[in-house]
Amino acid sequence: MIGPVDQLIVVGRKAVARGLVIGSGGNLSARLPGADACWVTATGTWLDELTAASFSYVRISDGAVLEGNPAPSTEVALHLHSYLARPDVNAIVHLHPQTSVLLDAMGHPVSLVTMDQAYYLREVRSVPFIHHGTVALAEAAADAIRDGCNCVILGYHGCSVVADTVELAHKRAANLEEAALATHRALALGGPVPACPPQYLDTVRRAEAAAAATRR
């Protein structure tokens, strides 16, 4: 099983290939479950050219770089605040998916049309424009996911998607842009914009609750 850094390297390459971000935009992070430190892409790195040397190892509780150089991404606060808000989160994918950002800027919510989109995302939230790289943005994004939401669009900027694994964070980010593209097409066709029937998620949640009960 490959480690978190190797998984992030794969995600960076795939995200650029899918057009979810231009190479030097966005940033990624991951940690071992429960750890007070995470690997964050370094400042100025290109996501499709990541190597093991492209990451900083940063303490979550105070932002101290524990080992390695160069410095972490200028968006490191976004990652740290999200980990502090959500102890269950072990991976964060911050990308710049253009259709998602465009719809949000135009005041159109991203609709979860397909079962996959509904299953992986459940809900999409947004925060208004706040300058990138600031603690204010990090706090707003963390507040948006604090109660269990896993996907937030950052106004005029990008998205922050969280999960307990790198793979799941990547799937959620990909499904966000697929949902945005479906929403955009529905609007272009004159609407109304469809949404996956809510009874589908009701069924999924019941199955998840039953599975959790059997594990206790």
CATH number for the domain harbouring residue 66: 3.40.225.10
pLDDT-derived band of residue 214, with 50, 70 and 90 as boundaries?
A: confident
pLDDT-derived band of residue 191, with 50, 70 and 90 as boundaries?
A: confident
- pLDDT on residue 92: 98
| pLDDT value at 54 more than 90 | yes
Average pLDDT over residues 54-64: 96
Average pLDDT over residues 95-107: 98
| pLDDT value at 148 more than 80 | yes
Domain total of the chain: 1
pLDDT-derived band of residue 2, with 50, 70 and 90 as boundaries?
A: confident
- pLDDT on residue 68: 67
Rounded to the nearest 10 degrees, the angle between the axes of helix 98-105 and helix 166-188 is 50
Over the chain, what is the mean pLDDT?
Answer: 95
Average pLDDT over residues 74-100: 98
